[in-house]
Structure formats: C-alpha cells, structure tokens
Amino acid sequence: MSRNKRKGSSSNGNDRKLPLSAKLIIVLLSKSIKTLNIFAPKLAAHYALRIFLTPIKFKRPRSEDVYLDTCVEETVFTKDFKLRVRKWGQGPNVLLVHGWGGRSTQLGAFIPSLIKQGYGVIAFDGPAHGESTGKCSDHYQFAEAVATVARAHGPLSAIIAHSFGASCTMLAMRDFDLAAEKVVLISCFDSPIWVTEDFARQLSIPLSVAANMRRIVENKYQNKWRWEDLEITDMVSRVSIPILLIHDKQDKETPYEHSYNLLKSGPSCTLFATEGLGHRRILRSDLVIQKSVEFINNMEAHNQRELTNELMT
C-alpha cells in the first residue's frame, strides 16, 4: 500500500478527542497555509513546518502525580536543550522514551513493575516537551536527546519507547551510538515521510507543502541526509538486538500496518498485537506492561513472529 493511501490520523486519536476550539484552529491554519502556498510556497512551507515542529503541551493527568512524588530529578544538557530527567529505583537501568506531545511520566505505568523486577528506571521530558527547554524540536534533536540521557545513565538493559519516541530511539541507535540490550517499540511508525504527509492530510494542505517542509529540514542539516534515509524499516533491518513491537489493531493515529511492516523488515523483531487500546491507552494496559517486562527479563520465549491478543475495549 502506498503511503499516501494509508488511513490514520496523527491529530485525532481514538483516546484523545480534540475540542471544538482546536478543530476551528485547524480549519483556520489550513486555509491560511493553502492561501499562502498559492503566492509564496516557500513561506507556506516554513509556516507549516513551524506548526509541525511545535509540540502541544497537554496537561499532565493527576494519575501521574505519584511518579513525580517518588522520583529523583536532574538536568542533562544537549547542544540545544536543557532536559529534565527523572529517576526511580536502583539496578540495571531501563530508559522510557515518550512520544510527540508526551512527557517523562507518560509511561509511568511501567515503573512499578520494572522496579519490582529490580530495575532502575530513567525517563525524561524530550526537547520542547514538559519541563525541558525549547518551543520546537525535530527528530534529530529528539534522537540526540535520547542518546545523551542514555550515555549519562548507561549501560542500559532496555529501552521502552512510544510512537515518535520509538522512531527517534532507532535513529539514535543508528546515528548517535545509542546502545541497549533490548528494545520495546510501542505504536511505532515505519516512515518519517509518512508522518509529514499525514500532517498535510490532517490539515488538508497539498502534499507539495510537506515535500517543501522536508527540504527545509534537510537544508538545516546541510543535506547530509535525505528523508528517504530515515525509514525505520531500514533501521530495524540492520540491528541484531531483540526488538518487541507492540501495536493496537485499532490505532487511529499510527495504523497497525506500520508495526507489521517493521516485523517483516526486522529479523530480530517480534510483534504483540492488541485490540481496542488505541494509541495512548496502550501505555496503561496491564498486559502490555507484563509482556514488556517479560520480554526484558527474557522470562518468555519469543519464538513466534506475531503474537496476538484480543482485549476488551
């Protein structure tokens, strides 16, 4: 299936509904970008890219407050950002990496089980997220942040990463010498190009705007790489460490087929599929947490190429 025919939304998930005010803003942004694109395509692309690279800072749920009460906080610096890092427990470290618009405590439900198994847990607010500095961030800056936090707390027994954070984890392994014994990728997309095109579809703007956005980012990095070089399918095909893919078949933000494509590309990948958990509620599933910890502990043989489980909504 070609990317531009894929279904799914990176803006309107099945467990995060946009308020009416946000929908109106999207309509206004769409009209302004389309109008600007007629007269000044490059300016339209810069405008759209600014929106694309600016994460929405959602309010932290009260249920995550307990993780703030029990952590040790510190600061880690990258070239461009000051990162808020949080630590729990003692033992071999597991790094938690949140997705776009997330925060360090978004994967907090994994912390008690990991600590119970004798692990230390590290998490951080990504660049321009949570309490870290910055207003905008791109995938290379986020990947650098993952690697920088890992170096400060390595070696890592495992990494558990979600969505955008999952793709950046793979990029950090390829380009920033990130290392871990095992990796769990939850709701990961297979292609950053798809993300830019999906952004354009959600705003109902021409795909040419997305193409121009990509060229702007390539120019920012002196054209040392092209977006075609950032396919996650290629990255998983080149690693030998065990990778557990977890994805919900009803994920409306990143369709399930993305992880299935990663499974087909990665010889060291296995896939656990869920039903009815969507894109974010999957992070709070007891069974998903159990499967992840078992995988890290190697308590269960993962000799099947696809593991499926039917969950009640």
pLDDT, tens digit, for every residue of 122-135?
A: 999 999 999 999 99
Summarised one tens digit per residue, pLDDT across range 47-97 is: 999 999 999 888 889 999 999 999 999 999 999 999 999 999 999 999 999
Contact 283, 63 (CB under 8 A): no
SS3 at position 283: helix
Indicate the pTM of the whole model. Answer: 0.90
How deeply is 69 buried, as exposed, middle or buried, from its count of CB atoms within 10 A (0-12, 13-18, 19+)? exposed
DSSP 286-309: HHHHHHHHHHHHT-S----SEEE-
Consecutive H or E run containing 245: strand 243-248
Range with top average pLDDT, 11-20, 23-32, 97-106: 97-106
Domains of the chain: 14-52+193-224 (no CATH), 62-191+231-313 (3.40.50.1820)
Minimum mean pLDDT range among 19-33, 57-71, 120-134, 227-241: 19-33
Summarised one tens digit per residue, pLDDT across range 170-204 is: 999 999 999 999 999 999 999 999 999 999 999 99
